[in-house]
Amino acid sequence: MNASEQVRTMYAAINRRDAKAAIACVDLDCVYQDLNFPKPFEGRAAIAQMFEDTLSRVPNDFEFVIDDMAGDDLAAGLTWGCN
């Protein structure tokens, strides 16, 4: 599975509020940069904590929607919105 497919799988898990399944899509050495946060999250543990914190705060009917994505086998970048 390439990076873009992994990201789609990860966001599907996030929208199910399944942080464990979402973090399973993240490499141990991943750097996750979201411009809603002041600095990138580095490593699976930091990203897992951010997922858990975020999912505990968003309403149950909030859905992350991927607007556009580019990537290759090892990296992906995207813009997202919400429903």
Looking up tokens 């990296």 gives 75
* Cβ atoms of residues 29 and 43 within 8 Å: yes
How much is the mean pLDDT over the chain?
A: 93
Prediction pTM value: 0.88
**Residue 67: is its pLDDT beyond 90?**
yes
81 phi, psi to nearest 5 deg: -135, -160
Domains of the chain listed by start with CATH number: 3-61 (3.10.450.50)
Decide if pLDDT at 72 tops 90: no
pLDDT, one tens digit per residue, over 12-45 is 999 999 999 999 999 999 999 999 999 999 999 9
